[in-house]
Amino acid sequence: MQQALTAFFILAGSAFAAPRPQASTTSSAPAATASIKCPIVFDGRVPVGTAGTFFDSSNGLFNPDYVKGNDLKWSDILKFPTGEASRFDGAEYQAVEVTLSDKSIFQQQKGFRRAGLQFIQDSSTGPGTTGVKTLHFSVRQDTAKPLNLTHEYLNVWHEAADYSADQIMFQTGQIIGKSASDKNNFKILDRAGKSLYSVAMEKTAWQNFAIKLDYSKNQVQIYYSVGQNPLKSVAGPSSADLSGQGQFQMGILKKPTGTSDVVNAGYQESKLNEGQIYGGLFLEDSASGCVSL
């Protein structure tokens, strides 16, 4: 086992500049709990043993320069919690936690605290903006770094190329201007803020989401499961305006309270120590109707 893993690390390390090897052919580790059945468009799964510093330089997974605190490196921001792997990570990929601190100020956006991963191949006019694509992500909470659900959080979204809107938003906490009654829920909203799906945040279990985006029909379908259970369709297909191209982002954007100018002003408590754990990050091609469950 130890030998097999070591071999995999060496192979993976040397292959990052080139197309990455299929882990299943380079390691004898047990297969992932669920296999991905459709063509992968963007792969954000983090191979077991990947060091934090890997994310500081040009790498095969995420943009090293965006979107994060000006004085932070990704190796400061990302943690690699142990524990049960998420459904699509299995034995070969590991969880990655995006954290916030008081230094999580991007450019001059002093109202936000944010850190967001972008797939390295994602571009505002690229394959993530056309056809039928399904974004997969699993989330788990870190009891030592809880989110403060009095605030509004954006965790996963697709932002239009002109930054004027997010076509789809996966959020938690109290949405500004809305009722606090569902603040403990994850919510998936369309660009107009209409709720497409909402489910309570689990305290310890993995929650697996897949959002199928049909850019030609302007439709969204949502799949969900807890733990290692297969995904099931839970909402849609619903009409949603997906126009405007753009990019995905996965992480944490924490909005302030007490302001209408959320980008620049408002209140953020100090000594922030928050995190959101992710697993199984990838975008697959669903043009043929394929969705990995």
Ligand X SMILES: *[C@@H]1O[C@H](CO)[C@@H](O)[C@H](O)[C@H]1NC(C)=O
Q: Which residues bind ligand X (CB under 6 A)?
A: 148, 150-151, 257, 267, 269
Q: Least distance in Å: CB of 270 to ligand X?
A: 10
**Alpha-carbon distances of 281 from 94, 175, 193, 227, rounded to whole Å:** 10, 25, 24, 15
Tell me the residue nearest to ligand X as measured from the CB: 148
Q: Which is nearer to ligand X, 148 or 233 (CB)?
A: 148
Would you give the distance in Å from CA 223 to the centre of its chain? 15
Q: Least distance in Å: CB of 70 to ligand X?
A: 22
Q: Which is nearer to ligand X, 153 or 157 (CB)?
A: 153
Q: Where are the alpha helices (DSSP H) in the chain?
A: 2-15, 23-26, 74-77
Q: Least distance in Å: CB of 259 to ligand X?
A: 11
Q: Which is nearer to ligand X, 148 or 218 (CB)?
A: 148
- Could you give the CA distance from residue 92 to residue 101 in angstroms, rounded to a whole number? 29
Tokens of 143: 């009891």
Q: Which is nearer to ligand X, 72 or 176 (CB)?
A: 176
Q: Which long-range contacts (CB under 8 A, 24 or more apart) does 193-200 make?
A: 194/240, 196/220, 196/222, 196/235, 196/236, 196/238, 196/240, 197/222, 197/224, 197/234, 197/235, 199/224, 199/234
Q: Least distance in Å: CB of 150 to ligand X?
A: 4
Q: Which is nearer to ligand X, 124 or 257 (CB)?
A: 257
Q: Is 56 helix (H, G, I), strand (E, B) or coil?
A: helix
Max distance between CA atoms of the chain, in angstroms, equals 56
Other beta carbons within 10 angstroms of residue 235's beta carbon come to 17
- Could you give the CA distance from residue 183 to residue 218 in angstroms, rounded to a whole number? 28
Q: Least distance in Å: CB of 226 to ligand X?
A: 26
- Could you give the CA distance from residue 160 to residue 124 in angstroms, rounded to a whole number? 8
Q: Which is nearer to ligand X, 123 or 148 (CB)?
A: 148
Q: Which is nearer to ligand X, 123 or 257 (CB)?
A: 257
Q: Least distance in Å: CB of 49 to ligand X?
A: 34
Q: Least distance in Å: CB of 39 to ligand X?
A: 42
